[in-house]
Structure 1
Amino acid sequence: MQYRLLKPELGHRLTSVNSTNEWIKNAEIPFGSWVIADEQTNGKGRGQNLWQSLGEEPLIFSGKIKLSAAEISLPLLSIFISSALLKTIYRFFPEREEDTTIKWPNDIYKGEKKVAGILVQSEYINGIFDIVIGIGLNFFGQHVPEPLKDKAIFLCETPLLEGDLERFANHLIGEINQAVITLLDPSQVLKDLVWIEDHSLLKNKIIETEWDERIIRGRVLGIDELGFLLIMTETGQKIELMDTSPNFRMI
């Protein structure tokens, strides 16, 4: 099939939108398109959650691509999109290499607080995935709302310079496309998984989560070739986690 990756020339800039993910799903918006918005009033998070952009300078981004379902693992795509975002952060803010990591399956953390979230939504049609990639990143702000102070943080200590947001978004598009190209070449996937594990918040951490209708505790071993988190439990059982549960936490 002909893959439809993001195209720099198919970008849009909106002042305000309900949800960039919902906006770009419109059938009149061609595959390869992407959008950034200054304001989002009903951002989408995982499940029934909402994404709340913080501060004066957030990145609110969505892109729409088309891929063969036979050649892509959606959990792995989600974590590779996270790596594309982290690589872009390192490119523009190299000082963040000291404290900013990927939190499986699809978040970016600065220290132990969330600074960005990724939402990958897909529709399966005749062996093809129509995919919408949503990214929210809190660049800079003066104030984190009280209910989120223990959970969220800003990436930067100072405001962005003029044009930085647009340059960041354009570089991110290239990194997302490269991540997808890597996923389509099995010989390259392991190399990128090693990079992701080296920049993982959960690397060698002890976690507690719900699995098979019970609470288990174990050490994180890494991420497998399908994007699942590998855990060695206290009883010596090796398990694969497809997703986090409400009870997921680091010990």
Structure 2
Amino acid sequence: MQYRLLKPELGHRITSVNSTNEWIRNPEIPFGSWVIAEEQTEGKGRGQNSWQSLGEEPFIFSGKIRLSAAEISLPLVSIFVSSALLKTIYSFFPKRLDDTTIKWPNDIYKDDKKVAGILIQSEFSNGVYDVVIGIGLNFFGQTIPEPLADKASFLCEKQLSEGELERFANQLVVEINQAVITLLDQSQVLKDLVWIEDHSLLKNKVIETEWDQRIVRGRVLGIDELGFLLIMTETGQKIELMDTSPKFRII
């Protein structure tokens, strides 16, 4: 099949929108398109959650691509898009190498607080996935709402320079495309998973989560070739997690 990756020339910038993911899912918007918005009023999170952009300079992004279902693991798409975002962050803000990591399966954390979230939405038809990639990143701000004060933070300590947000978006498009290309080569997937694990908030951490209708506790071993989190429980059982549960926490 013909893959449809993001195209630099199909970028859009809009002032305000309900949701960039919903805007770009419009069938009239061609595959390869992407958009950044200055504001969204109904940002989407995972499940029934919403995404609340914080601060004076949020980064609100969505892109639309098409992939072969036979060759792509959607959990891997999520974690590899997270790595594309993290690589872009490191490129623009080298100081973040010391404190910013991926929290499996699809968040970016600065120290122990969330600064970005990724939402992958897909539709399957005739052997292909139509995939919408949504990214929210809190670049800079001066205040955090009280309910989020112990959970969220800003990536930067100062405002962005003129044109930096646009340059960041264009580099992110390049990194997302490279991540998808990497997913088509199994040897490269394993290589990049090593990089992801080295930049993982959960590396060697002990976590507690709900699994098989019970609460289990174990040490994180890494991420497998399908994007699942590998855990060794206290009883010596090796388990795979497809996603976090509401009771997922780092011990």
TM-score norm. by structure 2 comes to 1.00
Distance 1:206 1:3 in 2: 39
Q: For 1:203-251, what per-residue CA distance to the aligned partner results, in whole angstroms no more than 9, with x for missing partners?
A: 0000000000000000000000000000000000000000000000000
Residue matched to 2:20: 20
* Identical amino acids, percent of aligned pairs: 84
1:193 alignment partner, SS class: helix
Does structure 1 residue 213 correspond to structure 2 residue 213?
yes
Q: Extract structure 1 runs of 4+ deviating beyond 6 A.
A: none
Q: For 1:25-47, what per-residue CA distance to the aligned partner results, in whole angstroms no more than 9, with x for missing partners?
A: 00000000000000000000000
Residue matched to 2:161: 161
1:35 alignment partner AA? V
Distance 2:189 2:38 in 1: 34
Query: What's the CA shift for 1:138?
Result: 0.2
Alignment length, in residue pairs?
251
2:110 alignment partner AA? K
Does structure 1 residue 139 correspond to structure 2 residue 131?
no
Residue matched to 1:112: 112
Q: For 1:49-88, what per-residue CA distance to the aligned partner results, in whole angstroms no more than 9, with x for missing partners?
A: 0000000101100000000000000001100000000000
2:187 alignment partner, SS class: helix
Does structure 1 residue 41 correspond to structure 2 residue 45?
no
2:95 alignment partner AA? E
Distance 2:237 2:158 in 1: 46
Distance 2:66 2:155 in 1: 31
Q: For 1:130-188, what per-residue CA distance to the aligned partner results, in whole angstroms no more than 9, with x for missing partners?
A: 00000000000011000000000000000000000000000000000000000011121
Distance 1:181 1:124 in 2: 20
Residue matched to 1:150: 150
Residue matched to 1:201: 201
CA RMSD after TM alignment:
0.3
Query: What's the CA shift for 1:18?
Result: 0.1
1:121 alignment partner AA? Q
1:159 alignment partner AA? Q
1:191 alignment partner AA? K
2:72 alignment partner AA? I
1:14 alignment partner, SS class: strand
Residue matched to 1:85: 85
Distance 2:126 2:45 in 1: 27
Distance 2:55 2:150 in 1: 16
Residue matched to 2:54: 54
Does structure 1 residue 245 correspond to structure 2 residue 215?
no
Distance 1:187 1:217 in 2: 31
Unaligned runs of 5+ in 2: none
Unaligned runs of 5+ in 1: none
